[in-house]
Structures are given as structure tokens and as C-alpha cells.
Structure 1
């Protein structure tokens, strides 16, 4: 997709994993050049996440021209969510990725042109809300992006990230810039913290009742189960019904990260009893450790396991040449004892002022989600919203077979047989070999009293599915209503000859009819 010559930027939209795979080297080159890039925007992490993401996602990829060999200079990962309510369909564009940070990957020298170009491209899409959740981006890039959404057409709201439960501000993200050596790091801490860390680590560095193991391919599955079991016990009361899904998705993500060499998972033991574990995402390209999740046995009353595991992980990071230990979102006080500075992320929501999708239509890439939701609403009896979903699909794809079929069924059930007939008629041209389409068309014709026309549709249904008893019954009923009882056998034979003589016998047996009607008798009673 080219957004215009004036911008001197060409934008392609990447929507499949094979195309994303082809971008790995190009993506990594841009990622390495971008000081704002972070692990959740790395190719390896994002590719793994998107491979397990249901629903439509897409990546805006920018370069200077349309030439195939021109490398991209920026990437903007996004996804589309759909809601049907109040008899309309609403799209929300969200940031793609799983984790505490989102953003754009961009070569610094290109951002002045690329970021506005991304914004203009997004404005051409069909959405009611654009949710820039967990946006970690410089003020400069944020201004470039938001400037393309003027107040006349859009509302911009910065999201309040302060938890109402414990007052933690999830927009504040503490991090430690790591020195070259462990002692240099300890010297930067307060005297009390420095002495505490030395004392605690001594307990796991020497042979005794406490120890720390680091997950290996052989122990990872068990270590992960320990972590998730402790984490679930701590948070289930707050997460409620979402917990099972969160445990499952975190398990998948952490397993994928470990297999990719992007996870550091130490477990703290008291003898043979695991009492805590900590998962940290490792970015070898940016040389960062990002603390992701911890869990501990709440009944353990020994040394503070969280302090021990963080200190152990920070020491490991320093010894292996890493430059940052990021505590990610949340200004919990304990984090600052490790010598943290903090950065602030700015989650923002943009909304169309009229509350409707831009352009007054749905986004084509959202059609599968719209159909799925409309079908479920239809099944639950919420027919106004279901009808809205089907009609929105047909506005942009008038020959969408499933939408034609399901809207036709909805209208027929409501008694609007003429409108249903038009839909089923179109459906038979879209799927001429679908027997169900002809059957539905026959049924609405019959409901309209158009028995001759209904008969033609039923005969086509029988031709496509000669073994279905419904077809025989429908044809017989139409013949009876047309007063053509003597023609029933001939019509049936004409419909199914020459291949389905056994079906005729099956039908006769099912109806309890003799092979040949007696002289002067009709073959089907009215």
C-alpha cells in the first residue's frame, strides 16, 4: 500500500507469518539501530507471539520506494478487535504484542517521515477506537504520531494506569542501568541494601539449606510448573475467571521464549522444597534483562525469596555483559531498593468523535471475526446485533456466502420471506453446488406461496443430494399443492435419473409405498 508520493514513504501491510519470516534480517537491522526498540518488539519475540495470536493482526512496514530490494526502515505491529453492540459493528485497532511495552521499530533518521506516514495510513482504515496500550515511545515520536489525529475528528485520552486496589502506577517502569562489574553495582546501593544482598546471596552461594537452580532443557517444564503454580495461588483471587487463560497463555509464551534462548528462570529452594521462582526475558541484541513474572510459596517464612532471586539475576546479568535490568510496569516500592531510575509509558486511546468506524464501514480483515460474533449472537437470539453483523459484511462483500445464508435464515425466521428470497437467490449463484442453498430458496418460495418456483428449487436440491428424504418430501408437497399428484413419480425419477435408482427404492420404502402404484392411485397421498 503506497500512502502517497508527497510523503516519500511506501508502506506495505504484512499479514502472514511467511511474509514476516522473510523480514527477519531486515527487522533485526532496524531493531539494532533503534535506541527505543525493546524485547517485546524484537522479531524473535513478536514472531512467536503472532504465531499463537487468534484474530487479525497486521504490521505496517515502511520504506523509501516500491522497489522490491529496498529495505524497510520501520515497522508498526498492530491488531484488530471487533465488537458488535447496539445494532452496529465497531473495530478497535490495538498494539500487537504480548508484554508490558509496545511501540514502533524505526531507524532514527527516518522517524520524522515514517511516523506521520504510519498515522496517515491508519487514518485510512476503518475503526472507531485506536488503543495505544502500554506505549513505550519517546515524546518526540508520540507527538509525530498523534499530530495526525486532529481534535476536530478525534478524542485523545491518556489512560489512567493507577490500580484502584493497591495504588500501584503501572505507567511507571523502574529499571537499573548496570555497570561492568558486580561490586560496582553494589557500591551504588544504600549501605543497608548492599549488606542485605551480600548476606542473602551468601546463603545460596555456600553449601547449606538454601540453593538456587537455573532452568535447563531437562528441568524447564518442572520449573515452569512451579512458577505458574505459585503465581496462580497469589493472583487468582484478583484475576478471577481470567486466571485459567492467563496461566495458559503465559505458559505458552514462557515456553516459547525459553526454547528461543530468551528466558532466564532461576528457582529458589529450601532443601528439596521449591519456594520461589522468577522469570526474566533476555534480549541478547539490546543486552537487557526484563523481569516478567515471579511466584513464591506464601507459607514459606525463611529469607526474602524475591530479593534473593532479583539480586541473583542482576548479578548474572552483569557477569554476562548485560547493560540493563528492567522491572517493567509498576512502581512497587521494593523495586527502587535495587537502585532504579524510572521511565514512564503513555497509554493513549484515540476515538472517532462520532463513535463510528471511520468510513462508515467495517475493515475487510475483520470479516471472520464479525461473522463469528454475529453467528454466536444469532444463536443466542440477539437477532438485531446479529443482523447488523451480517449486513456489515455484505456491504463490502455482497457475495459472501456465509453472510448471505445466515442473514437469509434470520429474515426467514422473522417472516420477511421476500428479502430472504433475494439473499438465497444470490447464494445459489455464489454456491451453485451447495444443496442447502437451493433447499432454503425453495422453502422461502413455498412460504410466499410460489409453489411452482419452489418446486424447481427442490428438484435442484434433490439432484445435488438425491439420498436426502427432505427433498422427496418437499417435492411431493409442492406437487400436491399444485394439484399435480399424478406427476410425482415422474418428477422424482426425472430429478434423480440415471444414477440414483436405489434412492427411489429407499424413498418408497421409507414412505411405505409399493414399487408401482395401483391403477388409478396417486403415488403420494396429499
Structure 2
């Protein structure tokens, strides 16, 4: 099975006839995998790929399609890639289409392509409407030695009335050949009375209720009306999500109308809209898919506007030959009142077992989004993470001048901020606020891991706390940055003395005075260590050199006097 790839609309449009042929042949296909829906959706979802499978030889045309979207995400370790199914996260269902007898081989080929040709950490299978056989075949194609895969639990949803809603349950209503038969066969007595009352109210001129459907001339106004009703009902709950829903609806619905797959009834009272449904039509499968709804919550009647629109839509569907009325996700109790049936549509993830992108780098096709995410992190002040992310972008696209320019901007900002925070940390040390100073110094090192001053200050702070191992670690890090720093080697000697590692301490003092022949404290402490090691004459010489540099160095003078008087237990001066 050969997999070809489309990443431009010129390439994709050449496959339209094959796509529609496969979509018509696949009993598992649905409206969210129709050409009209997917082609329109991908217009705003770059970068995307459509994988197309075909037998070769001979070539009888394509037998399967898998649309995917490449995305960037970030955590505390940096950027990584996600692969989403085409249509997510807006579509009610996601999946693939295939000529049934070729589905399993195509799934194997698609999985192999994703493992060999695309960089990602997580393959996101949200709301995947696929037979158990196909889904198992797809998941099994990612070997467990290299990948983990399993179900993702949806967020808990408890209604205001206290009902716990399971959004893995998707509800649909089988329709009858006649509306009256539907009422009699599918609905209980109470719901049947309410349903008949709903349509009587709609047909009663005195109620001043009317359902309108969009035409080519009124489509734009109808979409505006729906969006406003949706906004009134849902916006305050999740504004960011709401903005995405409404922008996506405005983009998708005109194409759905043009393709003959949009049914959008709007209930009006005295001409003013009070409720609206967006229902997608799949005539070839005689299925209506309830997708979105909105209503004016201030409009109160004994029969709800929602019930009126459901009854109107079901009657319209039956009259137009539809056999399934899909109510979508969530086992809300009202859905079962229509004589519904349930199916399970779950969310799955396939993830790399090592937690890294396949190939160890970002997918180069996502560089634009990666740069945007990195720049956003920098604007938020997360400069250390932004620097890590920028390095990842450069690794994925080493010749992209935007990445190197952004790296330079981030480095400059990190330097300015780290110096500001280092000054604050130094002031805290002088004030003996050790805990605050430690936090500030760690922030500096997080911003600038090679900030020698902060590393040395951390070493001294650890020494004051008695954390000798931490002190040595930090001073060695400082020396790795500035190997020619006499103060750093002097500091290292002092730490080693406290650990009783006198031979290594002497080497550090020797290195300090070799780098800076005027470092009087290093000569003094070198002398004290030599004296402690029984090398009195060398110690006396070292004290004299300290005093030659700084005649007013009281500790060196005292140490010299004691050494000359053969006194013992001379303390090391920090």
C-alpha cells in the first residue's frame, strides 16, 4: 500500500473525485468527513496533511484518506508536536474514510507513515467515530515498545440540576416513515402530548411563532442570528471557547449551505429570533446531525423553544426521507424522551513512550506556529523557557533567519532581566535575607544558566547553610563558565577546606594566586592551609606575600605572627 501526501490545495483538489467516491463507498463515513466539510475546514488549519492510500501496482485510484493537522504545544520542558485528526476540535466526529475491504491495510500504511515521516509526541484521536475493528487496527499499528495508547477521560460534567453527563455517550434517534408513526412508536405518552402541543403552538397564528430556514439571500443574516443566540446562551461560560466556536461557525456554515448539507431552523416570536439549531445533513446516509444550538433564555413558554425546534426538525427530516436524527454527545435525559439509542464515541491518545517528539526534533512544517508560541512565551516573561523553545526551533529549521533573530532578542532580554535580578539578590544577601536571596539567585540562574556571579553567590550561600555538596556544585559550575576567575577558585578552596579536602583546597588557592598575583586573601588562606599541613616556612612566605600586597591586612599579620611563634590552630579566613 503506497501513501501519497497532499499539503497544498492544488494537490488536494486533484483528489476530489477519488475522495467523494471513497466517502460514498465507506459505511463508516459521515458528514464531517465529506469533501465539502473537510476542504473548507482545512482552509484555516495550516499546516495540514491529507494522507491518501492506493494499491500499486496496479493503480485503480485511491482507496483511503486520512486528514491530519499538525500543531505545536508546550510544557515546562519546551515545545512538542501534536497530530490531530482533520476537523478537530470543531467537528462532532473525526476519523478516516476507506473502501471497506482496503481499510485495514490502509490503516497500517497510514500508521507507518506517521511513525516514519512526521514528528510528534502525541497523536490525538478525539471524538473518533470508527468501528471497533478499525480503531483496534489503528492503535495496534503503534508498537507498545515505542508508544503508549489508551482512552482519555473526558472532563466531568454535572448539570445545574445535579445530573452527571457522560460525553462518551452519543445519542441518535431512529426515525419512522411517517411523523405520526414516529410519535406513536417512539415517544412515551407524556412526550407525545408535549410534541403534539409544540407543533400546534407553531401552527397556531395567535401564538405568533414561526420557523424560518435560510435561503441564499438570507443566509448571512441567518448565521448572524444564530451566532447572537448562541452568544446569549453560552458565551459567559467559556468566552475563549465561545470565540473559537463562533469564528468556526461563520467560516464553515456558508460552505455547508452551498453543498446542500445545512439545515438551520430559526424559531421566531413576533418576528424576533428566540432559538436556532444548526443541523448538518448527510443525504446519502439519510442522517441529520444536530451540531449547534442557541436560544434566548428570557423567552419562557410552557413548551420549550428547543422542543418546538426538535419536533419541527424531526417532522421535516421524515418528510424529506431522513432516517437518523443524531443528537450528538451527552446522555442528557431529554434526549431519551425521543426514543433514542446510544453509541460510544471516545477519545484516545497515542504517545511516544520516551515523551519526546519522534526524530528528537520539532516537525519543520510547524516552525511558524513554534515561532509564534516562543514569541508569546517571551512576551509573558518566561524567558528561560522561551530560550529553550527557540533552540528547538533552530534545530528544526537552522537556516530560518526569524529563529536566530528571535533568539538574539530573547538573549538580550534575559541578560537585562538577569542583571536586574542579580542586583536585587545581592542586596538581599547584604541584608542577610538568605531565603529570599536564594530564590532570587535561582531565578537568575534559570534565566541565565551561565551567570557566573549568581552561581558563585549561590555557592557562598550554600556554604553558609552548611550545604557543602551544593556549594561545590555551584562553584564548579561558575568555574566552568569563567575558568580564569581567581575569586571563583579562591571560593572553591574555602569550600574544600570546610569539607576537610585540604589537598584539593591547596590546589584551588594555588590556581587563584596564579591567576591573580595580587589576591591577598588567597595568599593568606593558602598560608593558613600550609601551616595546618605542617609546611611552616611556606606558610610564612605566603602570609608575607599577602601583607606585601595589602600591608593593612590584619588577619595576615596575626597569622604571620602566630606562625613565626610556632602557634597552632590558625583559622582559615573566608
Q: Which residue of 1 aligns with 2:563?
A: none
| Alpha-carbon distance in 1 for matches of 2:40, 2:332 | 29
What CA deviation, in whole Å up to 9, does each residue of 1:254-298 have, x standing for no partner? 233223322111122222332211111112232211111122221
**1:78-109, Cα deviation, whole Å (9 max, x unpaired):** 11111244353211111120311001101110
Q: Looking at secondary structure, tell me which structure has more helix per residue.
A: 2
3-state SS in 1 of match to 2:331: coil
**Contact 1:211/1:268 (<8 A) preserved:** yes
Query: Match of 2:50?
Result: 59
Match of 1:174 in 2: 171
Q: May I ask how many residue pairs the two structures share in their alignment?
A: 405
Paired residue secondary structure (2:376): helix
Counterpart in 1 of 2:6?
14
Structure-1 separation of matches of 2:275 and 2:414:
59
Tell me which of the two structures has the higher relative contact order, counting C-alpha pairs closer than 8 angstroms and 6 or more residues apart: 1
* CA displacement at 1:322 relative to structure 2: 1.6
Equivalent in 180, 183, 186 of residue 180 of structure 2:
183
SS in 2 for 1:122: helix
2:349 maps to what in 1? 349
**Structure 1 pair 58–66 and aligned structure 2 pair: CA distance change class (3 A):** farther
- TM-score, normalization by structure 2: 0.67
> Which residue in the other structure is 1:261 paired with?
260
Larger Rg: 2
**Structure 1 residue 380, shift from structure 2 partner:** 4.4
The one of 184, 200, 203 aligned to 1:202: 200
**CA-CA distance at 1:408 after TM superposition:** 4.4
Counterpart in the other structure of 2:132: 139
Residue 159 of structure 1 deviates from its aligned partner by 1.8
Q: CA RMSD in A?
A: 2.2
Q: State the 1:320 CA deviation.
A: 1.0
Q: 1:375 to 1:275 in 2, by over 3 A?
A: closer
* Counterpart mapping for 1:35-46 below 5 A: 35-46=27-38
Separation (CA, whole Å) in 1 of partners of 2:140 and 2:17: 31
Q: Which moved more, 1:290-299 or 1:225-234?
A: 225-234
Query: Are the counterparts in 1 of residues 367 and 396 from structure 2 also a CA contact under 8 Å?
Result: no
1:306 CA drift (Å): 0.8
The 5 A counterparts of 1:45-84 are 45-53=37-45, 55-65=46-56, 70-84=60-74
CA deviation digits over 1:464-521, x for unaligned, max 9?
xxxxxxxxxxxxxxxxxxxxxxxxxxxxxxxxxxxxxxxxxxxxxxxxxxxxxxxxxx
The Cα shift of 1:317 comes to: 1.1
Gaps of 5+ in 1: 1-8, 416-526
CA contact (8 A) 1:10 1:66 kept: no
Deviates more, 1:29-38 or 1:9-18: 9-18
Once residues 330 and 320 of structure 2 are traced to their aligned partners in structure 1, the CA distance between those partners, rounded to angstroms, is 26
How much does 1:116 deviate? 1.6
Name 2:483's counterpart in structure 1: none
Q: Structure 2: how far apart are the matches of 1:413 and 1:308? A: 60
The residue aligned with 1:440 is none
Q: How far is 1:299 from its partner?
A: 1.6
Aligned-partner Cα distance in 2 for 1:70–1:296: 49
Cα deviations across residues 428-469 of structure 1 (Å, max 9, x unaligned)? xxxxxxxxxxxxxxxxxxxxxxxxxxxxxxxxxxxxxxxxxx
Decide which of 15, 18, 30 is 1:26's aligned counterpart.
Answer: 18
Query: Residues 280 and 293 of structure 1 are in contact (CA less than 8 Å); yes or no, is this contact kept in structure 2?
Result: yes
Unaligned runs of 5+ in 2: 416-574
How much has 1:226 moved relative to structure 2?
2.7
Q: CA deviation at 1:174?
A: 0.7
